[in-house]
Amino acid sequence: MILACQNITKAFGEHVVLKNASFHIEEREKAAIVGINGAGKSTLLKIIMKELAPDEGQTVITRGKTIGYLAQHQEMISGHTIFDELLTVKQDVLDLEANLRELEQSMKHADGGRLTELMDQYARLSHDFEQQNGYAWKSEITGVLKGLGFEETEFDKQVDTLSGGQKTRVSLGKLLLSRPDIIMLDEPTNHLDMNSITWLETFLMNYPGAVIIVSHDRYFLNRVVTKIVEIDQGRMTVFSGNYTDYAQKKARLRDAQMQAYLNQQQEIRHQEEVIARLKSFNREKSIRRAESREKMLDKLEVLEKPTEARADMRIELEPRFPSGNDVLAVEGLTKSFPPKTLFSDLDFEIQRGERVALIGNNGTGKTTILKILNGVLPADRGSFRLGIRVKIGYYDQEHHVLHMEKTVFEEISDAYPTLTNTKIRNVLAAFLFTGDDVFKRIKDLSGGERGRVSLAKLMLSEANFLILDEPTNHLDIVSKEILEHALTHYTGTVLFVSHDRYFINTTATRILDLSGQTLTNYVGNYDYYAEKKETMTHFTSGSAAEIVSETSAAESEAKTDWKQQKEQQARLRKRQNDLKRVEARIEELETRDKEINELLIQEDVFTDAAKVTELSREKEGLQIELDGLYGEWERLCE
């Protein structure tokens, strides 16, 4: 055991965040702390770091062990460049290297015992230098910076000129290079693109120390951690396994707790009814028995009602009317912000019912495409065409579609003037705005609150084509799952940009990968995309002949003609429609066959030879048609 939290209790005023919370971390263990926003995850990390004092309990770290912590927001003031800022972590190594150089100079002018002494000292320092990876410090820093998404051309940028997200990445790089025995990370993926997140996953999985992570990135947690520490209403529960294991166990545990609660409530109501009945008899003996039962009830430890899995928000997305089959066609779309060209000659189409994820590294132009489709930005070249009866609902991650001076209530009432005050109140309550919260101005809301207002407007729009830009930003895990459920049951069409791989994996039916100023199409979810991407890129470790061969194959697959993709989807839709038709006909014939069987056992029918003959012939015809339909059904299913 390298870290233990023992009976931690922490309250802010009357709000108790942690109640007797206990858990421990073993050496090399990778653990996550999960819970809804405000559950106390960051508070717990600060208590471990001694930045906050617990009201009760203690944290214990094994003597001699070091701990490194990355908070969500970094205030970094530095006169260094990015590279030099990370180099400060290696000061011990640089000092060792300087000492070695001095010893080398001294040994040139020494002899006899003094030389022997200097050589022994040089050998010890060389060993220490090698143990600290001194010969590779430059490549180690370069590797970490590139892994976190910095280009070599950015290494000389001044830290003071960086954005908050970039400073967080610099801080993360310093922490990883310092290699403490325990790494604690609070939302480390917030400012990383997909390639950087994948690099960080690999780094942490292979890290020789312990890792504690607070993150809403479920895909990341699935890949890295082997233990989940949940904070729920101040109480802490430890689950073994990754996030998916935790979610399954949590669901089973909640079901069992809910059943126990309902059973106890039923028993309490039963006892109360019996007590009332006994008292109504108004006899001494019956009253004594009633009082005895009341004492038993008073001693009963009443179970708390388990928290609902989906109590945070209620999102119901449904179009007012369906669109045509062809929802969007984009041809030759090009956009530049000189001197940089984001993308050129993009062609793609979206059909009704598809949920398409647009992915790519930061700065490739994903949000720009969505803004062009919504008329926020003009394209340099190319065009797009919306299909028949298409109505767009747009979710903007920067929330420019909201009016900063309006209140939450006014934002909804002005957009939908036909709604009654009660209806508006009910909608806002479904998105956690109750009481005086509805009179807050948009400009005073947090990012998460603005996101909820945008989602409320999106739900009320009843649009049949949703265009979403990072819809899960600022949402906790439960709220993300609610949005996922709403989108997967939505009967319209969705185009969205997201870096949340778990969200993409759950909701997307197709992926468009924007890289190298062009799009590559993948029919499937994120797991399918990752598998195909790996297949297309693994050739880099092969021989020259393999590289030529596999490069050609990869390029061929990447440049798959879009018409072929469209034809493939059309064939799939036709097969699905044929399958539905066959299943409907089978159900119709089987229902009629059962009706005939019931008729044949009725006396007025089986005594009528002509009627029996007629029904028998019909039944025989049904069986012949059913045999053919069963064969067609099997063929379509395959």
Q: How many helices, marked H, and strands, marked E, lie in the chain?
A: 21, 18
pLDDT at residue 258, as a whole number: 86
pLDDT at residue 377, as a whole number: 92
Summarised one tens digit per residue, pLDDT across range 567-577 is: 777 777 787 78
Nearest 5 degrees, angle CA 380-CA 383-CA 389? 140
pLDDT at residue 551, as a whole number: 41
Summarised one tens digit per residue, pLDDT across range 333-363 is: 999 998 889 999 999 999 999 999 999 988 8
Distance CA 444, CA 285 (A): 66
Whether the pLDDT of residue 452 is over 90: the answer is: no
637 pLDDT band (50/70/90 cuts)? Answer: low
pLDDT at residue 386, as a whole number: 94
Strand 210-214 versus strand 182-186 pairing type: parallel
510/164: higher pLDDT: 510
**Which of 25-34, 138-147, 157-166, 463-472 bottoms out in mean pLDDT, i.e. has the lowest?**
157-166
| SS3 sequence of 73-113 | CCCCCCCCEHHHHHHHHHHHHHHHHHHHHHHHHHHHCCCHH
Q: Choose among 198, 145, 150: nearest CA to 534.
A: 198
Q: Which residue is associated with the tokens 């064939």?
A: 571
Q: Choose among 331, 326, 362: nearest CA to 346.
A: 331
pLDDT at residue 213, as a whole number: 95
Nearest 5 degrees, angle CA 66-CA 70-CA 72? 160
Q: Choose among 583, 557, 567: nearest CA to 636.
A: 583
Cross-strand pairs, 235: 232
- To the nearest 10 degrees (0 to 180), the angle between helices 544-558 and 526-537 is 140
Whether the pLDDT of residue 541 is over 70: the answer is: no
Strand 392-395 versus strand 235-240 pairing type: unpaired
Q: How many residues does the chain have?
A: 638
Give mean pLDDT, residues 495-507.
Answer: 93
**Which of 237-251, 512-526, 622-636 bottoms out in mean pLDDT, i.e. has the lowest?**
622-636
pLDDT at residue 313, as a whole number: 65
Structure-token pair, residue 368: 């720009």
pLDDT at residue 131, as a whole number: 80
CA distances from 531 to 528, 534, 537, 541 (A): 5, 5, 10, 17
Summarised one tens digit per residue, pLDDT across range 551-567 is: 444 445 544 555 666 67
Q: Choose among 150, 200, 198: nearest CA to 170.
A: 150
pLDDT at residue 562, as a whole number: 53
Cross-strand pairs, 230: 34, 237
What is the DSSP code string of 6-66? EEEEEEETTEEEEEEEEEEE-TT-EEEEE-STTSSHHHHHHHHTTSS--SEEEEEE-TT--
Q: Is 500 helix (H, G, I), strand (E, B) or coil?
A: coil
Question: C-alpha dihedral over 418, 420, 421, 423, to 10 degrees?
Answer: -110
pLDDT at residue 633, as a whole number: 65
Distance CA 396, CA 381 (A): 23
pLDDT at residue 545, as a whole number: 46
Strand 465-469 versus strand 510-515 pairing type: unpaired
**Which of 133-137, 185-189, 234-238, 558-562 bottoms out in mean pLDDT, i.e. has the lowest?**
558-562
pLDDT at residue 547, as a whole number: 38
Summarised one tens digit per residue, pLDDT across range 107-144 is: 888 888 888 888 888 888 888 888 887 888 888 999 99
Whether the pLDDT of residue 638 is over 60: the answer is: no
pLDDT at residue 334, as a whole number: 95
Q: What percent of the chain has pLDDT over 90?
A: 43
Distance CA 385, CA 407 (A): 35
Ranges assigned E (strand) in 352-404: 355-359, 381-386, 392-395
Q: What percent of the chain has pLDDT over 70?
A: 92
Residue 110, sorted as left (phi over 0), alpha (psi -120 to 50) or beta, turns out to be beta
224 pLDDT band (50/70/90 cuts)? Answer: very high
pLDDT at residue 464, as a whole number: 95
Q: What are phi and psi of 274, to 5 degrees?
A: -65, -45
Summarised one tens digit per residue, pLDDT across range 391-445 is: 999 988 777 778 999 999 999 999 999 989 998 998 888 888 888 889 999 988 8
Q: Supply the DSSP symbol for 472.
A: T
Give mean pLDDT, residues 41-49.
Answer: 93
Summarised one tens digit per residue, pLDDT across range 585-596 is: 878 888 888 888
**Which of 153-162, 221-230, 260-269, 444-453 bottoms out in mean pLDDT, i.e. has the lowest?**
444-453
533/65: higher pLDDT: 65
pLDDT at residue 286, as a whole number: 78
Q: What are phi and psi of 357, to 5 degrees?
A: -100, 130
Give mean pLDDT, residues 367-374.
Answer: 94
pLDDT at residue 146, as a whole number: 92
Strand 493-497 versus strand 355-359 pairing type: parallel
Residue 339 preceded by cis peptide, ω within 30: yes
What architecture does CATH give domain 326-561? 3-Layer(aba) Sandwich (3.40)
Q: Choose among 573, 557, 484: nearest CA to 522.
A: 557
Structure-token pair, residue 621: 């015809």
Cross-strand pairs, 393: 466
- Residue 433 C-beta-side C-alpha neighbours within 13 Å: 30
CA distances from 95 to 104, 120, 140, 178, 236 (A): 14, 18, 17, 15, 45
Mean of pLDDT over the chain: 86
Distance CA 312, CA 452 (A): 11
pLDDT at residue 310, as a whole number: 47
Ordered strands of the 30-34 beta sheet: 67-70, 182-186, 210-214, 30-34, 227-232, 235-240
